[in-house]
Amino acid sequence: MFSAWNRRDRPPEEGAAAELQGFAVDKTFFSSLKGILLETELALTFIIFICFTASISAYMAAALLEFLITLTFLFFYATQYYQRFDQLNWPCLDFLRCLSAIIIFLVVSFAAVTSREGAAIAAFVFGIILVSVFAYDALKIYQTEMAPRATQGTQQ
């Protein structure tokens, strides 16, 4: 009963690919600079999560939360789903994601190294590397997305 009503309201489909068209993955995104940065952030965050799970479980929530946020941004950018939410300023959200991750991982990494366990020291090393990747990502976002908009606003 409901399937006939739904078919009437939908445009004609061209196979199974038409249903998945909303979440089609742009495979070229993964080889772009932004894709490589997000993949690196995701991998390092997962490694830090594993290190914190093995040593200091109190800090693993920060790594898990940042892993999920980075995974969400990777999904939105890879599927270009973020373009459907044009009211949000995505470069600014991405820049704030990077800045908050820098602050969180600096604090958590230096707090974890005080325990002097092997996994905590590994988490500290990977945390410092991750902070540098987040800082580079924030710099690239600022240079390519935010700085040109600021100069356009002053010229008009």
pLDDT > 90 fraction of the chain, expressed in percent and rounded: 37
| C-beta contacts of 59-62 below 8 A and 24+ residues apart | 59/108, 59/111, 59/112, 59/123, 62/104, 62/105, 62/108
Q: What's the structural domain count of the chain?
A: 1
pLDDT tens readout for residues 72-126: 999 988 888 777 878 888 888 999 999 999 999 999 989 888 888 888 889 899 9
pLDDT value of position 22: 61
Query: At 62, which helix (H) or strand (E)?
Result: helix 60-79
pLDDT computed for residue 151 by the predictor: 65
Q: Give the pLDDT confidence score for residue 120 in this predicted structure.
A: 86
Is the pLDDT reported for residue 14 higher than 60?
no
> Is residue 6 in some structural domain?
no
Res 13 pLDDT > 60: no
Residue 48 within a domain? yes
Q: Evaluate whether residue 156 is within a structural domain.
A: no
Q: Which residues constitute the domain of residue 39?
A: 28-81+89-150
Report pLDDT for 4.
44
> For position 39, what pLDDT does the model report?
93
The tokens for 113 are 């190294």
Q: Give this prediction's pTM.
A: 0.76
Neighbours of 89 (CB within 10 A): 13
- Radius of gyration of the chain from its Cα atoms, rounded to whole angstroms: 20
| Residue 21 covered by a domain | no
Q: Over 70: is that where the pLDDT of 69 sits?
A: yes
Q: Residue 80: what pLDDT?
A: 83
Tell me: pLDDT of 152 over 80. no
Top pLDDT among 29 and 148 is at 29
Identify whether 17 is part of a domain.
no
- Domain-located, residue 56: yes
60 inside domain: yes
Distance CA 20, CA 10 (A): 14
Residue 129 placed within a domain: yes
